[in-house]
Structures are given as C-alpha cells and as structure tokens.
Amino acid sequence: RWTVPAPASGRPASVTIDMGAVVPIAGISVTPSRTIAKGVAPPRDYRCETSLDGQRWEVAAAGELPNIAYALATQRIAFAAVRPARWLRLSFTETAVPADYLTLAGVGAFLKQ
C-alpha cells in the first residue's frame, strides 16, 4: 500500500520504479486500495513516463482513471507501443474525490512476452 499527501497544484504525487534491467513494457496497472477511510482517495488521473537511464524521461501514457473511486478495480492501461525501459515513473495530479491523502494498493507493469 502506498499513501502520500494529496497532490497540490504544481506538486504531483509520484512513484518511481526501478525494473532492475531494461525490459519491454507494454503497459501499467493501477490498483486502488479497497480500504475505505475518511480523507483518503485513489488518483483521478495519471501520467506514466519511462526511462532507460533514470535521467531522461519520455511520456508513455497519460489520462484519467475511469470510475476508480467507486469501482475499486485494477485499471490496466496499455501503451500505444511497447517501450524498452528500466525505469517507470507514475505521477498523479489530483485525487478522484476530495481527500487529504492519495492512496493505492499497488502499481505494476506488464511486459511484452
């Protein structure tokens, strides 16, 4: 579980994942926490960036997470094209409903086989 202060204007909440080696990433998954608590919410939107070296980043996907606050289901986002990357960074600029904290049960990457 990952919980951080809710994003503020100009200060997104983000998490960076080191895959350990360059791998072919086909997309990501975002799983909201199923724990209902006052003042916490999943993200409304996302921006996913990939990097080969952890220094230069390219946007792989961005958009809204449809109905994540109410369905509480894992959201799978496929990239337009498979991207070789060692690093994956997910950023969130607002929560799905007003909240003091943003929380997720997990994030993941799916690889091209």
Render pLDDT for 19-75 as a digit per residue (tens, 0 to 9).
Answer: 999 999 999 999 998 877 889 999 999 999 999 999 999 999 999 998 887 887 899
Distance of CA 76 to the CA centre of its chain: 10
User: Which domains occur in the chain, in start order?
Assistant: 2-111 (2.60.120.260)
pLDDT at position 9 is 75
Q: How far apart are alpha carbons 20 and 74 in whole angstroms?
A: 24
The answer to whether 51 touches 19, Cβ cutoff 8 Å, is: no
Q: Is the pLDDT of residue 81 over 80?
A: yes
pLDDT at position 53 is 97
Q: Which is more confidently placed, 35 or 90?
A: 90
pTM: 0.90
Dihedral angle sign, alpha carbons of residues 21, 91, 105, 110: negative
